[in-house]
Structure 1
Amino acid sequence: MCLIAFAWQVHPRWRLLLAGNRDEFHARPSAALARWNDLPIIGGRDLEAGGTWLGVTEAGRCCVVTNVRDPRDPQHGVSRGLLATDYLAGADDAPGHARKLLAAATGYRPFNLLTFDAGHGFYIGNRPTARAQPIAAGVHGLSNADFNTPWPKTRLLMERLQAWMDAGRDADFAPIFHALADERPAPDEALPDTGVGLERERWLSSAFIRGETYGTRASTIVAIGYDGSGLVIERRFGPSGHFEGESEWRWIA
């Protein structure tokens, strides 16, 4: 994933309400949202490395991973996508998993990881050093920088998620998908400097990125209730933002 906003333990119906966009090269092969045959995971799948960028289980667990945007940091190490599958298919709860991962985190490509179980949420990152922290109840955001770094698109998506909750919504996700589809760039004075140049910073500053070879591949909403029941909705896009389909998965605890 490259843009995430989520509400943790503050919505009256949803223990976790998460919205995010996955930006990737269009040539990288991936499978649509589905229940996997070989692991107890529901999510899309990276067919190149075998992992996922976002997944859930019918036990109410969720895991999301992003990369870290820093062209000066070589992309060496184990694939980030395997972090999500290891957590979702493993036996450890979020705190136990975080403790174990810290010891091996530097061996992976630069990552940010969010893990959730029935009662805990954790953030784990490995740049500039390995670190982990429990997630407090509230609305949070994550992109290709540190946890809750206020990049313009991250801050805006958090605000729109908060507005959705303030309006008393719990099942109409159209406004959230509308927020994920926002192509407006941030003003130059608000752009971060991540070493990719001004033009690319402008292009990457919108929630939805439209491009022929690289761009937003999927917009996804996860909603998991306090009883463990939930749903995942994924909308997929091809080159130049062409809509390619929508999938939905629901389960009852």
Structure 2
Amino acid sequence: MCIAVFLWQAHPLYPLFLLRNRDEYPSRPTEPVAWWDNGEILGGRDGLAGGTWLACSRSGKIAFVTNVAEVGKVPEPKSRGDLPVRFLESKKNPTEFAEEVVMEAHQYNGFNLILVDLSSKSMIYVTNRPKDEKALVSEVPPGIHVLSTASLDTPWPKAVRLRTNFEKFLEKHGSGELPAEEMADKLMTDATKADKTMLPGIYSVEFEHSLSSIFVEANTDQGRYGTRSISAVSVKTSGEVAFYEKYLEEESWIEHTASYVMEQTGTG
């Protein structure tokens, strides 16, 4: 059950600062963050379906997706991991691409999708499981936001905990540079589980409790399940992008960072 916290257009040095955990079965083939074949997309790649959970482009686009916790499934669904890739490969802005996604949203299992264009300072949230009859598409306002496997900023215990701890780091560092790797290490490895009375009640209590921490380690009927990668993406007003990843490979954690300067740097 993936989770992300991000700061959008609310810091003097960082138009965007993002931390994200990807939770998955270790047996699922996965390629770590790297430049893709055409050299325009930087991100991890799902070795089974070919999509991604988080990626960015040289032109200043960023996209990431989470699933939505639900019991029902769509028969023969499209791959949610294709959505970020399609956006990054397209010439469409976030709003235009969101409108395209809405037309086919019923063909996917539940998803949350964040679409960013840094050159135009645009961030759009798309979901096919809106909460309380809200719109499928909405603009994300400046500030701190948390996205888990519920609607954007839903106050599930792990989301509240992550936001609170993220805010403490921001208070500590003020308007100065943020230590991305340190924040990823301290905030995204938190294995504190929620009180069982605070769980959303979508699955069994024991299963939900095992998934209720920011960093997940759980045993399921399908085998071990948990956090496989921790990412930090920081974008500076200068257009510098740093994509840090710490990922699990054969019981060992490997760290690496890819950096580049956006082709369009109108991110001030």
TM-score by length of 2: 0.88
Please name the residue that 2:233 is paired with: 222
Deviations, residues 184-225 of structure 1 (Å, cap 9, x unaligned)? 10112222211x211111110001112462110101011112
**Deviation of the 1:244 alpha carbon:** 2.6
- 1:178 is paired with a residue whose SS is helix
Q: Please point out which of 171, 189, 201 is paired with 1:193.
A: 201
Q: Partners of 1:85 and 1:234 in 2: how far apart?
A: 18
Deviations, residues 146-170 of structure 1 (Å, cap 9, x unaligned)? 1111111111111222221111252
Tell me, yes or no, if the aligned pair for 1:152 and 1:205 is still in contact at 8 Å: yes
Matched, 1:234 2:245: yes
Deviations, residues 125-175 of structure 1 (Å, cap 9, x unaligned)? 012587100000010111111111111111111122222111125242203
Unaligned runs of 5+ in 1: none
Please name the residue that 1:250 is paired with: 259
CA gap of 1:15–1:229, structure 2 versus 1, over 3 A, is same
Matched residue type, 1:36: W
Matched residue type, 1:208: F
Q: Which runs of 4+ in 1 moved over 4 A?
A: none
Please name the residue that 2:185 is paired with: 177
Please name the residue that 2:217 is paired with: 210
Matched residue type, 1:170: E
Tell me, yes or no, if the aligned pair for 1:191 and 1:201 is still in contact at 8 Å: yes
Q: Partners of 2:227 and 2:127 in 1: how far apart?
A: 23
Unaligned runs of 5+ in 2: 263-268
Matched residue type, 1:40: E
Please name the residue that 1:142 is paired with: 147
**Deviation of the 1:99 alpha carbon:** 1.9
Q: Partners of 2:209 and 2:14 in 1: how far apart?
A: 34
Q: How many pairs does the alignment contain?
A: 250
Matched residue type, 2:208: E
Deviations, residues 32-75 of structure 1 (Å, cap 9, x unaligned)? 11001146210110011111000011222110100111123346
TM-score by length of 1: 0.93
Please name the residue that 1:77 is paired with: 77
Matched residue type, 1:127: R
